[in-house]
């Protein structure tokens, strides 16, 4: 009878180790998912920072110029802040390429389609051009906002959670 508790202990040890490994795997998977989000945020922030180059294409109103400049500066700051994260938080990666190939192709096709609609000689101009660009920027910022909100929901590090909340 005295051997029975010892046998139960021997049987329980592998189960305990297995549960601990499962917890580590789940944490690693969650960090990978978060890093995919940070990487998408990083790439999209670079795109927002480049929106200022649209001001070189056509003449625009002063109000439009101010909005585009502000969005571009936001994108530049966000891109810089995200680039700095891995040095402060080694578990964070912003250089992953998480999107499936078809999603990448779709985004490139969408970008070229949008470019054609605002191209210097053949695209829209005046107020119509400004509306197209403003709508595109609004969509991009909205995508960033929702992505940051999703990151904040799952982020376990309090400082990184605060960063994501501030970004949205």
For residue 125, give both structure tokens. Answer: 């101009």
Considering the entire predicted model, what is its pTM? 0.80
Do the Cβ atoms of 94 and 85 come closer than 8 Å? Answer: yes
Per-residue pLDDT for 89 more than 80? yes
The tens digit of pLDDT for each residue in 23-78 reads 678 889 999 999 999 999 999 999 999 988 888 877 788 899 999 999 999 999 99
Per-residue pLDDT for 22 more than 90? no
In the DSSP assignment, the letter for residue 118 is: H
Do the Cβ atoms of 132 and 117 come closer than 8 Å? Answer: yes
pLDDT at 21: 58
What is the CB-side half-sphere exposure of residue 111 using CA atoms within 13 A? 11
Per-residue pLDDT for 16 more than 60? no
Single out the residue of 62, 60, 64 nearest to residue 124, CA to CA. Answer: 60
83-to-33, 92, 152 alpha-carbon distances in Å: 18, 10, 18
| Residues 6 or more apart whose Cβ sits within 8 Å of residue 15 | none
Alpha-carbon gap, residue 5 to 115, rounded angstroms: 72
For residue 150, give both structure tokens. Answer: 């999703």
pLDDT at 40: 97
Alpha-carbon gap, residue 166 to 8, rounded angstroms: 50
Helices then strands, each counted (H, E), the chain: 5, 0
Q: How confident is the model at residue 167 (pLDDT cuts 50, 70, 90)?
A: very high
The tens digit of pLDDT for each residue in 99-123 reads 999 999 998 998 888 888 877 777 7
Candidate ranges 12-16, 47-51, 124-128, 149-153; pick with highest mean pLDDT? 149-153
Alpha-carbon gap, residue 131 to 98, rounded angstroms: 31
Alpha helices in 59-100 (DSSP H): 62-88
Per-residue pLDDT for 14 more than 80? no
pLDDT at 4: 62
Do the Cβ atoms of 85 and 92 come closer than 8 Å? Answer: yes
């Amino acid at each position: 009878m005295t051997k029975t508790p010892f046998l139960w202990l021997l049987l329980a040890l592998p189960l305990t180790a297995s549960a601990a490994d499962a917890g580590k795997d789940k944490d690693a998977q969650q960090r990978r998912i978060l890093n995919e989000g940070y990487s998408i945020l990083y790439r999209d922030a670079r795109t927002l920072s480049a929106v200022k180059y649209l001001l070189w294409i056509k003449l625009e109103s002063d109000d439009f110029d101010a909005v585009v400049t502000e969005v571009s500066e936001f994108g530049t700051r966000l891109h810089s802040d995200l680039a700095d994260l891995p040095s402060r938080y080694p578990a964070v990666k912003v250089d992953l390429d998480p999107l499936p190939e078809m999603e990448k192709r779709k985004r490139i096709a969408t970008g070229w389609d949008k470019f054609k609609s605002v191209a210097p000689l053949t695209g829209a101009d005046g107020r119509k051009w400004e509306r197209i660009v403003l709508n595109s920027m609004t969509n991009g910022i909205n995508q960033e906002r929702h992505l940051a909100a999703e990151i904040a929901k799952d982020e376990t590090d309090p400082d990184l959670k605060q960063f994501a909340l501030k970004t949205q």
